[in-house]
Amino acid sequence: MHTLALATDSADLMDKPKKKRAAAQLKDEITAYKRRRILEEASHFFFANGYEATTLDSVAEQLNVTKPFIYSYYKNKGELLYEICQTGIQLSLTALEEALSVEGTASEQLKIVVERVARIIIANQRYVTVYLREEKSLLPEDARRIRELRHAFDTKLAALLEKGKASGEFDVAHPSRTAIWVSGLLSWIALWYHEGGRWSATEVVMDAIAMVQKMVQPAGGKHG
Amino acid sequence: MHTLALATDSADLMDKPKKKRAAAQLKDEITAYKRRRILEEASHFFFANGYEATTLDSVAEQLNVTKPFIYSYYKNKGELLYEICQTGIQLSLTALEEALSVEGTASEQLKIVVERVARIIIANQRYVTVYLREEKSLLPEDARRIRELRHAFDTKLAALLEKGKASGEFDVAHPSRTAIWVSGLLSWIALWYHEGGRWSATEVVMDAIAMVQKMVQPAGGKHG
DNA sequence: CATAATTGCTACCCTGCAGTATAAACAAAG
DNA sequence: CTTTGTTTATACTGCAGGGTAGCAATTATG
């Protein structure tokens, strides 16, 4: 009865339980699904109340499950936090990398980068906000890994700015420092955007694009 | 002996304990001083470990004092948090207001605003960061008051952008939305700057000025 | 239908910490 | 040198919540 809250019970995925291979794989998928659901609900609470103020009992209750259930899928509360933070930065990093793989001038690429990353941040605000806000609650080792991902993000962004600078498209005195401002502007979206608020997601994304373009735009005028 | 950690004991301020008036005033000053010291140490811990993860015992220990000491100057832990958050936003707001009181064109004023606010934010990073990060830990009523101050900040900034737009100095499509980006850029400093890190406070301030100027700069070229 | 394996729950433990009742130390006043 | 008020510490309480031991229910297998 309780497992109902985890929605889609085995039925959906249960097609060919013939071979052991298939059965084992199915089991893995179900486990992965349960982990995802736990993470999702946890991220809601961490986002709304903060990590320390959130109790695993409340997360379990939301899932119509008990605390030991969570502990059979996650080692402890800290592991949940780490996975949420990891998701937050990894999604942004992946969006950046995919955007960078699109061919085009630096200006075109930058526009795509900002648009896609901004959209990802809005769509995954909970994860990104927790990652930005709860760094201090991570174990030192976990915090280090998160910082590495963030650093990869900033570095790739800096490389793009460098490229635009070399081609004369951008006027940036110091690409790696400017990258941090751009990345901050994107992060700010997560901290500030409110669904159903004064401004729509699209408006915010368009604004972000415009702001970043101005930040790198040569004094002479427009580009790209 | 223990009160030593509160440094400057009465001696400093003790000049004319003649009249009762003076004595009472002195007492008030000492009380205010103790409150300030408690707040200062608390802000260190809240900044470094987060609000919930900080124990008042540890704050007391840092002051070479005991927990009931703190409770005789603050009602509870939440009051401490509120005062820290209040300090964080109020300092920024005051810096903004003072900068706005300097006569000049919109461009000149904006430059002064960004410079002063950025400096205040760096100098009071602990307070500002806690205010940005711990909103969810505040009582609803306290959170509301903090948001009001932030809103005042954004509104005054928007008015300046509006003024610059009217005079043709700035190219901003939507002043109140742009104000939020600018205010976000400033906030970002608190979250990202690290004393003794890769870049100096002055570099960061100069960068912030340059970024904001570009964000509002007309397509045609420079201004101010 | 019996046996084994898996999965989840009930019922705890125990620590850490916000907050307090009360006593001691000290200072001020007479 | 007592008396009175103030300031700070000692020594607690209460409980919330992370984490776990062990049991029950369910499912798979022969």
pLDDT of residue A221: 54
Does residue B206 belong to any structural domain of this protein? yes
Checking if the pLDDT of B20 tops 70, the result is no
Q: Which residues contact B126 (CB under 8 A, 6 or more apart)?
A: B43, B44, B46, B47, B84
pLDDT of residue A138: 98
Same domain, B185 and B106: yes
Same domain, A177 and A210: yes
Same domain, B66 and B87: no
A137 lies within 8 A of chain B by CB:
yes
Same domain, A95 and A58: no
Give pLDDT tens digits for A14-70: 333 344 556 567 778 888 999 999 999 999 999 999 999 999 999 999 999 999 999
Same domain, A58 and A109: no
Same domain, B185 and B205: yes
Instruction: Provide the pLDDT confidence category of residue B12 given band limits of 50, 70 and 90.
Output: very low
Same domain, A185 and A209: yes
Mark yes or no for CB contact A53/B214 under 8 Å: no
Q: What is the mean pLDDT of residues A2-11?
A: 38
Same domain, B41 and B108: no
**CA neighbor of B39 nearest in space, from B24, B59, B19:** B59
Same domain, A150 and A98: yes
Nucleotide closest in space to B30 (CA vs C1'): D7
Same domain, B151 and B60: no
pTM (predicted TM-score): 0.90
Does residue A76 belong to any structural domain of this protein? no
Footprint of strand D on the protein (CB under 7 A): A 20, 23, 53-57, 67-68, 71, 76-78; B 2-3, 27, 31, 34, 64-69, 72
Mark yes or no for CB contact B136/A49 under 8 Å: yes
Q: B26 or B196: which carries more pLDDT confidence?
A: B196
Domain of residue B199 covers 81-216
Does residue B116 belong to any structural domain of this protein? yes
B53 lies within 8 A of chain A by CB:
yes
Q: How many CB pairs under 8 A join A and B?
A: 87
Among A71, A96, A115, where does a domain finish? A71
Give pLDDT tens digits for A88-114: 999 999 999 999 999 999 999 999 999
Among A47, A71, A95, where does a domain finish? A71
Helices (H), A77-174: 77-100, 106-123, 125-133, 140-166
Does residue A222 belong to any structural domain of this protein? no
Does residue B223 belong to any structural domain of this protein? no
Half-sphere exposure of B169 (CA within 13 A, CB side): 17
Helix, strand and coil content of chain B, in percent to the nearest 5, comes to: 75, 0, 25
Same domain, A120 and A181: yes
Does residue A5 belong to any structural domain of this protein? no
Give A106→chain B minimum CA distance, Å: 19
Same domain, B40 and B148: no
Q: Residue B206 belongs to a domain with what CATH number? A: 1.10.357.10
pLDDT of residue B25: 73
- In total, how many domains does chain B have? 2
